[in-house]
A and B are shown apart, each in its own frame.
Chain A
Amino acid sequence: MTDRLIVVPGEVIFQGEDYLPGEGTEKRGDEIVAVRYGLAEETKKLVKVIPLTGVYIPRRGNVVIGKIEMITSNGWVIDIGTAENAFLSIMEVPRYVNKDDMKSVFDIGEMVAAKIYSIGGRGIDLTTRLKELGKLEKGIIIEINPNKVPRVIGKEGSMISLIKDETKCRITVGQNGFIWISGSKVEDELFAKKAILYVAENSLMSGLTDEMKNWFVEEKK
């Protein structure tokens, strides 16, 4: 199957024992059935449905951008746009934190890039103990539809590295649809924003990375 097919819940995607059910699909008898509305895709016999619409569902390992909502005695509560608020423990901040002055690390209203390291029964746990994570100062934050994030990043990061190279900006893409852009000039940041919004708008086009290369050539004239 080379073409990506639009499927609705309950639709049989494949018959027979040759395929494995992935995300958004279910095995019923010897049929692979879609349980979500989206594009069905098959790679190496694994069938999955890529959602086109809907809210952001957090997954372990996702990098997200959120806003500090509340400071507790042993960490921060962060709003990452999900039903459950996420928690960042002071243990997960790669520096010494004075418990009496947690504001100086992250204050309420500040934006933070963090990684989801576990999703348990009590909520989502975040960490900033990795490169490129932590408080987001300077720059701008834009919001796109979370379902379009994979296209902004591109295959193995091809799209986002193209945008980074062309605009000379530092960009962090949160899987929850928030994107942080920081450059030396405001013009660069706005240019990067324009490029990202263009990608999000044309997310279903095939050969999008090549299209973006042309877009940059055209825009820079």
Chain B
Amino acid sequence: MTEFKRPDGRKVNELRKITAKVGVVPNADGSAIFGFGDTVAIAAVYGPKKMHPQHAQNPEKGTLRCTYNMLSFSVTERIRPGPSRRSQEISKITEWALQPVVMIDEYANQVVDVHINVLQANASTRCAGINAAAMALAQAGIPMKSLVSSVSIGKLDKQLVTDLIKEEEDWEEGEGPTDIPITLTGDGKISHIQLDGKISIKQLREAVKLAEGAYQQIHDAQVKALKEAASSEQEIQASSAKNVGGEEKK
């Protein structure tokens, strides 16, 4: 097989540089920022809190409510702010991707709110949003079976690639582009898969394999960010305590 050339020179199974950090919104109960290269999403979690309006309450179990939004400056051509057909769909998709892992059954009549905002977009925004949301939920202390990690797999002509960029999403050669965002849970199950384009069953299996390969890298970045946040807090406090002690002695 000849080497497939991607526009930004990455290998076919190479992710963009991952950025991940938790605790970015001080007011929220949990928050995180996650980025694949130029695609950056921020997530803030509030709750569990009482569900309003009251008629939306579920007396049997807690509700997860996600809101996905792209900020008007996230793309070069300004997008109209406010909910759109696309953002409503992705909000619902994000909810479904996270639902299997969050354990909020005991919070009857209550809601966990997840707000996802895309700061910069260069394809795979829903994946970055889901990854940020998973970290933010964990930081908010919501019981979860595991984290989830999401990645987009693309088929450009006949070649499968990991983590699409905008340029690849608009692929024009051969069979054109197929975009397959996949979200995986800790036990290796798929909690979300979408397919936009044409693909054979055999190649879809390969795509899932590719996502499983990328899962580990994303998951490691999420875990690292969460652990760093807790331990850095510990260190800052320890060092600031020393400083305060030192000043007092003077």
Contacts and interface: CB of A to CB of B under 8 A. Distances in A.
A and B: bona fide binding partners: yes
B contacts with A: majority SS: mixed
Contact of B147 (A8, A39, A205, A211): A8
A9 B241 contact: no
B62 to A, nearest CB: 9
Contacts of A11: 223
A51 interface: yes
Contacts of B223: 8, 11
A215 to B, nearest CB: 8
Contact of B47 (A24, A55, A219): A55
Contacts, number: 98
Interface centre among A8, A10, A201, A205 (most CB of B within 10 A): A8
Interface stretch (A30-38, A65-73, A93-101, A108-116): A30-38
A83 B109 contact: yes
Nearest to A219: B248
B48 A52 contact: no
Interface string B213-233: 000000000110011001101
Interface in B27-73: 29-30, 47-50
A143 interface: no
Interface string A169-190: 0000000000000000000000
Interface string B81-125: 000000000000000000001010001111000000000000000
Contacts of A55: 29, 47-49, 140-141
A1 B218 CA distance: 29
Interface centre among B47, B138, B143, B234 (most CB of A within 10 A): B143
B145 A37 contact: no
B49 A83 contact: yes
Return the 8 tightest CB-CB contacts between A and B, nearest first: A54-B141, A10-B146, A10-B186, A9-B144, A37-B138, A83-B50, A6-B230, A204-B234
24 contacts: A9-B143, A9-B145, A10-B101, A10-B144, A10-B147, A24-B143, A35-B145, A36-B141, A36-B144, A38-B141, A54-B139, A54-B141, A55-B29, A55-B140, A55-B141, A83-B49, A83-B107, A83-B109, A84-B50, A84-B110, A205-B234, A205-B238, A205-B241, A211-B241
